[in-house]
Structure 1
Amino acid sequence: MQETTTRQRLAGFLILLGLVAQIIGFIGVVPTAQAVSYLLWAAVALLWRDIPRRSRIQAGVLIALGVLMLVVAQVAYSADINWPAMLQGNVFVATMLVGVSFISLIGTQGNKRPPGKRVTGADGVLRTWLGVHFLGTILNLSTVFMVGDRLARRSPLTTPQLLALNRGLSSAALWSPFFASMGVVIALVPEVQYGQIALIGFPLAMLSGLLTTLELRRRFDLAEVDGFSLSPRSLLMPAGMAALVMLFHFWLTPSLTIVSIITFLLPSVALLSNLREGAHYTLRRVRQHTATRLPAMRGEISLFLAAGLLTLGLSTLVTSAAGEDWTLFATFGMWQAMVSFAGITLSALVGLHPIIGVSVLASILNLTSGEQTLFAFVALSAWAVGTSVGPLSGINLSLQGRYGVSGYRMMKNNLLYAAIMSLLSLGAIAGLSIWVS
């Protein structure tokens, strides 16, 4: 493991403080949003040189555009800008990601288990997809490494294995309440009805698994392609965490959003599970996590914070220039939703993370309660398709860094998949638009 520097450890400590401050803010006694934003942005500044060049350029452009639009709004249109609070955009999502990262402190996540019984062929591909998908609903990107490293013990990963990893995780964005995509959506449209999203998103995700299996079986010889052997025991932790979140959401803390509940619940469960080994052991693991894992999240945190600043700048400029009543669409129905889905997904092909398209679109729409749910599904489905095919998405950049596969090669291999999933998503959008209207 690469040794961390003092600068990186300090940044990790600031990120941890930001998470703690955010959780304190949930109590409602002291407002902490501004302090949290300063802590996270300070950490990003410390880690700036460590961010991969492409991601650094993208985040830098978003930051510059956001600040420029705020300046133009104030100078040209006399907008009243709350400059001390300008850094608060997407802080909720960033701290949720930090909270979710602590789930890696629960047990060994299966990394030290022996490979077990070998499964190959289309069945192996499907099992890999299922394993990454369901474990990934809670563990997010870390699941790809957990499953990928286990498969790589026998031989270097093949294209079918890489595609199963990619699609298994990206499709979880369609319904998982623990994904960053859901956090962004709930922060942008807080009146979204999650139940309606899940009832449509989950079956669509299952179609992704079926499509992946059938397509890869047609395109590749899978006879010697190893799959991930998923046991029912592997699903106990994700299912338990999901049940806990629902318990808090509907009964114990109904005033808090799902994003807020995840932010404090997952770190709490992780700490409690380690306390069985003693306080010293728990403190050591938290210190190690803070020094290594949290600084490694620099790319994700910087992108979400930068996109939040861009959203604030764009929405402020549009409002000040066109007035409070201006909106991109007078109503947000089926056709508007389909055009929005296409725009966000196509932007991912040229290297823009879906959060940019989602955030920009939300800033120039005035959505009613029912329209918020439709917009949420547009955002989630575009995120699921866009991250699978986008060469600069987090999942493809991670596969490139870990296993040496080109992001553009992944894009090429996912074009047919993305086209079919786009058609299925458009059909689901049409159905949901009728449901919520």
Structure 2
Amino acid sequence: MSEPTTPKIVPRHALAGGLLLAGLILQIAQFTQLFPLAHVVGYSLWLATALLWVDIPRRTRHQAGVLAALGLGLLILARTWHGARIDWTGILDGNTYVVAMLVGVSFIGLIGNLRGRSHPPGKALTGTRGMLGTWLGVHLLGSILNLSTVFMVGDRLERRGPLSTPQLLGLNRGLSSAALWSPFFASMGVVMTLAPAMHYATILAFGLPLALVSGMLTVGELSRRFVLADTAGFSLSPRSLLMPVSMATLVMLFHYLVTPTLSIVSIITFLLPGVALLSNLPHGPRWTLHRVHQHTLNRLPAMRGEVSLFLCAGLLTQGLSTFITAATGSSWTLFAHFGPLEAVASFLAIVISAVAGLHPIIGVSVLASMLDLDAGRQTLFAFVALASWAVGTSVGPLSGINLSLQGRYGVSGTTMMRHNLNYAAIMTLLVVGAIVMMEASL
């Protein structure tokens, strides 16, 4: 069978896609400790972002630009006002590991769909069972495959017609709630870095039940608000579970046996694209290279909004933390003690900022830069960060999931926010209860 023809590609997009791929490869090379150039990953990713800057949606571009400008401005103020020593060559390194992981995760789209044929998992159902299947399918698959699952499931449902509001809400909440516990999410990657002494077992013990309650809340609420009799849903099949379960098993195998010195984020960064390449090799090296080439030219440049937000938020975090340290002599923190009241206040502030249009990574990063947590407080902070990410991305009009739904299926972020306000309010009460319970158990 002949290979599909390559569509016309804008040279600037092609170069940007190549730079994003180079950033991923360079990040993986650093895991071997044989790569001596410390900042090349950041340079590659930022140059790709610069090339794609004009193509980023205007609101996202303005938000990312403000974040970068604030971060750079704070670094300059820290240097000029307080004489802080700043490694200017490394100011672009913030969150590059997360962006590299996201680029690596995107290659999961090369598993399956070989030779141009689409074989989405599962069968469509309707009604309440279908809505439950949609939430559960996106949640389980998305806990490993991240945002790509929304497109896998959403495109399957769209075959029956344009996606309805309850279908879009099921996709939104199914994915965002996985941030409460999944070790494969970008949120967990950020939190693992900000709170390296956190106890993941505790996070799982509180986050997973809260995520399941989110699913029951979603199905119950949407069943009351909408007539679902003719609303197509998604049903999991054993075959659809094979790949994510296998990936999770591989990640755990590498984490505990093969590469125990690497974090889960680092393992995902090289393992998922590696598996994707191996799954294509039986069809020939030429076909495999063609698929990687197409992915680099099309899928990677399409990640420009998410990549720009993560990179610019990383620059803001670096600027803010440097300025605060220089201004206070490392003696000032937002809270003298990070207890349940402080945790609840932080959670509410991040969610409110998400409703106002800021990505939760910004609130989480800013909060971390203003805290000095001992090991015993890092688990509580980690839960606050993950919970605010889960609730904030569901309701925030400029979150990655809502921007993706807007770009793919035409629903506005404002519409998603309006329909998710009650959900976010109930989840907030549940999170507050979980914070109180967690504090009692620590």
Task: Answer yes or no: same fold by TM over 0.5.
Answer: yes
User: Corresponding residue for 1:38?
Assistant: 43
User: Corresponding residue for 2:3?
Assistant: none
Task: Kindly provide the amino acid, as one letter, of the partner of residue 45 in structure 2.
Answer: L
Counterparts of 2:375 and 2:329 in 1: how far apart (Å)?
Answer: 21
Counterparts of 2:106 and 2:165 in 1: how far apart (Å)?
Answer: 28
Gaps of at least 5 residues in structure 2 are 1-5
User: Corresponding residue for 2:75?
Assistant: 70
TM-score scaled by length of structure 2: 0.95
Gaps of at least 5 residues in structure 1 are none
Counterparts of 2:121 and 2:288 in 1: how far apart (Å)?
Answer: 28
TM-score scaled by length of structure 1: 0.97
Matching of residues 30-429 of structure 1 within 5 Å: 30-108=35-113, 112-113=118-119, 118-429=124-435
- Whether the 8 Å CA contact 1:21–1:32 is kept in 2: the answer is no
- Whether the 8 Å CA contact 1:111–1:150 is kept in 2: the answer is no
User: Corresponding residue for 2:34?
Assistant: 29
Counterparts of 1:205 and 1:417 in 2: how far apart (Å)?
Answer: 13
* Inter-CA distance 229–111: structure 2 relative to 1 (3 Å threshold): farther
Counterparts of 2:198 and 2:37 in 1: how far apart (Å)?
Answer: 25
Deviations 1:111-168 (A, max 9, x none): 8238975521111100010111111112211211211111111122111111111100
In the TM superposition, residue 2 of structure 1 has moved relative to its aligned partner by 6.6
In the TM superposition, residue 180 of structure 1 has moved relative to its aligned partner by 1.1
Counterparts of 2:121 and 2:190 in 1: how far apart (Å)?
Answer: 36
Paired-residue identity, % = 65
Counterparts of 2:359 and 2:347 in 1: how far apart (Å)?
Answer: 14
Task: Kindly provide the amino acid, as one letter, of the partner of residue 232 in structure 1.
Answer: P
SS of structure 1 residue aligned to 2:60: helix
In the TM superposition, residue 348 of structure 1 has moved relative to its aligned partner by 0.6
SS of structure 1 residue aligned to 2:106: helix
- Whether the 8 Å CA contact 1:62–1:307 is kept in 2: the answer is yes
Deviations 1:309-340 (A, max 9, x none): 00000000001101112111112121111111
Task: Kindly provide the amino acid, as one letter, of the partner of residue 178 in structure 2.
Answer: A
Question: Which 4+ stretches in 1 moved above 6 angstroms?
Answer: none
How many residue pairs get aligned? The number is 436
RMSD (Å), alpha carbons: 1.6
Deviations 1:57-87 (A, max 9, x none): 0010001000100000000000001101111
SS of structure 2 residue aligned to 1:228: strand
Counterparts of 2:123 and 2:434 in 1: how far apart (Å)?
Answer: 38
- Whether the 8 Å CA contact 1:111–1:146 is kept in 2: the answer is no
User: Corresponding residue for 2:15?
Assistant: 10
Counterparts of 1:57 and 1:386 in 2: how far apart (Å)?
Answer: 20
- Whether the 8 Å CA contact 1:22–1:33 is kept in 2: the answer is no
SS of structure 2 residue aligned to 1:328: coil
